[in-house]
Amino acid sequence: MKRRSFIGKTMAAGALAGFPSIIPSAVLGRNGDVAPSNKAAIGLIACGNRAGVAIDYKRYNKSEVVAVCDPIRERRLEKKKIYGNCSDYTDFRDLLARDDIDAVHISTADHWHVPISLYAAKAGKDMYTEKPLGISIAQDLKARDIADKYGRVFQYGAQQRSQTPVRLGIELVLNGHIGDVTDVYVWAPKGESGGVCNPISVPKGYDYDLWLGPAPQAPFCRDRCLVQGPRNAIFHIYDYAIGFIAGWGAHPMDMLQWWIDNSDIKEKIPVRYEGKGTIPTDGLFNTVTHWDVEGVYANGIKFHFMDNETANRKSPHPAVKGGHGTAFVGTEGWVMTKRGGWETSSAALRQKARNPGPKKLKVSKNQRQNLVDCVLSREEPVDNLHSAVLSDVATHLSEIAVRSGKVVEWDNEKETITNKDLQKYMHRDMRDPWKLV
């Protein structure tokens, strides 16, 4: 379908309706025949610094990158050089219109994650979507359509589920080696403050309207649009994100959810959140920088979520130290997992990881490669959508507790905030013509 017809039909029905039915080539084969031995064809949507991990598709013999897309010409052409013989696009809808692409790797700003993932699902594409999931609870819940309605493979980009030390540590907890879990601690790097916006002209080759997408109109300036790395504005401006409480907190929160999903306690996420924190009032960046949230699961397990500076200053438990981590504290010991390592309350406990027991987690050595394997096999990936929704909602509820200054009560069955005056925080407006429908 030509782009003009594509946009006309989708926009006429509210951004997501009117999509053509496209069958991925992993199912039909490149020439329409069943060909399970074919490589999975991958398209990259967004070519900034978060797209660096996509090099794994080039290194894996079961996949190839056939297209790259970014509203910034310089970035996409740089990635095109890396992947060689591939096409490049400004608009993600042009890439999705191709019927020879099996899956997409989405590493846009957070405010684009769910909208583009829904577009991709309706276009028949599987996907790897960077963390965090959405910028609102409503977006997170709507994202379930990706798997439930469209039947797509979805891999969440929290990455640590593919690290052996993390898996070993959580398997110890699952098999009861620390006794009954009483407390869980989650901490992540603090957010950033500052940033200035001195408006400048939009550079040639930069589609700023598409970069903004569903976010509010705003002046183009260096600190908003041209900085890469940890101080990238897409992590710290509320129009595009809720800050490192989700942007980094998604990693250790995902570890907590991995345990919950595979445990016998039959919980989803905490049902009560109370916290305080800091939200800058000067400068361009206006998301939570420091947070200290206390909560509880329905069964009484206590939940503690902090930024790293707060966690290290308070030192609530010897397992809580360093820049990030997830600690499980039980009646007979504790286990702490983090990117690149894990610790236990005793050497004897650590030794039990060699044969922890019957409860085992899915093994994956690389989450991009795991996506490719699941695209070809149609199995569920290690970091699935339903788990991502739950952990992401927990970060939103924590942020709402800080932003509102009130206790937040959550109903896991109805999936709503029960405080009526706080339900407004579950939704975000989207700039026309973009909608979630």
CATH of the structural domain 3-160, one choice from 3.40.50.720, 3.20.20.450, 3.40.50.300, 3.30.465.10 = 3.40.50.720
Reported as a single tens digit per residue, the pLDDT across 232-274 is: 888 999 999 999 999 999 999 999 999 999 999 989 999 999 9
Of 312, 308, 348, 314, give the one whose Cα is nearest residue 332: 348
CA 273, 278, 279, 285 torsion-angle sign: negative
Identify which of 116, 108, 131 has the alpha carbon closest to the alpha carbon of residue 234.
Answer: 108
The structural domains of the chain, with segments of one domain joined by +, span 3-160
Band of pLDDT at residue 395, cut at 50, 70 and 90: very high
Residue 38 has what pLDDT? 80
pLDDT one-digit tens code per residue, 313-353: 987 899 999 999 999 999 999 999 999 899 999 999 999 99
Helix, strand, coil shares, percent, the chain, to 5? 35, 20, 45
**Which pLDDT band holds residue 31 (cuts at 50, 70, 90)?**
very low
Q: Is residue 28 over pLDDT 60?
A: no
What global pTM score does this model have?
A: 0.91
Nearest Cα to 128, choosing from 430, 389, 367? 367
Could you give the dihedral angle defined by the CA atoms of residues 327, 374, 19 and 97, in that order, rounded to the nearest 10 degrees?
110
What does the alpha-carbon distance between residue 17 and residue 26 come to, in Å, rounded to a whole number?
Answer: 24
Q: How far apart are CA 118 and CA 142, in angstroms?
A: 9
Once rounded to an integer, what is the mean pLDDT over residues 391-419? 98
Q: Which of 20-34, 144-158, 196-210 has the lowest mean pLDDT?
A: 20-34
Which of the residue ranges 36-50, 100-114, 150-164, 280-294 would you say has the lowest mean pLDDT?
A: 36-50
pLDDT of 37: 52
| pLDDT higher than 70, residue 3 | no
Torsion angles phi and psi, residue 338, rounded to 5: -155, 170
Q: Residue 206: is its pLDDT beyond 80?
A: yes
Percent residues over pLDDT 70 in the chain = 91
Residue 226 has pLDDT above 60, yes or no: yes
Q: Is the bond leading into 433 cis (omega within 30 degrees of zero)? A: yes
Strand order in the sheet with 333-338: 341-344, 333-338, 325-330, 181-188, 302-307, 290-296, 272-278, 408-411, 416-417
Does the pLDDT value for residue 12 go beyond 90?
no
Q: How does the average pLDDT of the chain come out, rounded?
A: 92
Positive or negative, the CA dihedral 195, 196, 201, 207 is: positive
What the block records as the tokens of 212 is 């903004």
Question: What is the structure's pLDDT at 230?
Answer: 83
Six-digit token string for 29: 């084969």
Residue 298: pLDDT over 50: yes
Q: Pick from 320, 169, 372: which is nearest to 258 by CA?
A: 169
Q: What pLDDT score was predicted for residue 228?
A: 86
Residue 377 CB neighbour total at 10 angstroms: 11
Q: What digits encode the pLDDT tens for the residues 58-79?
A: 999 999 999 999 999 999 999 9
Neighbours of 170 (CB within 10 A): 25
Output the pLDDT for position 437.
Answer: 67
- Supply φ then ψ for residue 233, to 5 degrees: -60, -25
pLDDT tens for 97-113 read 999 999 999 999 999 99
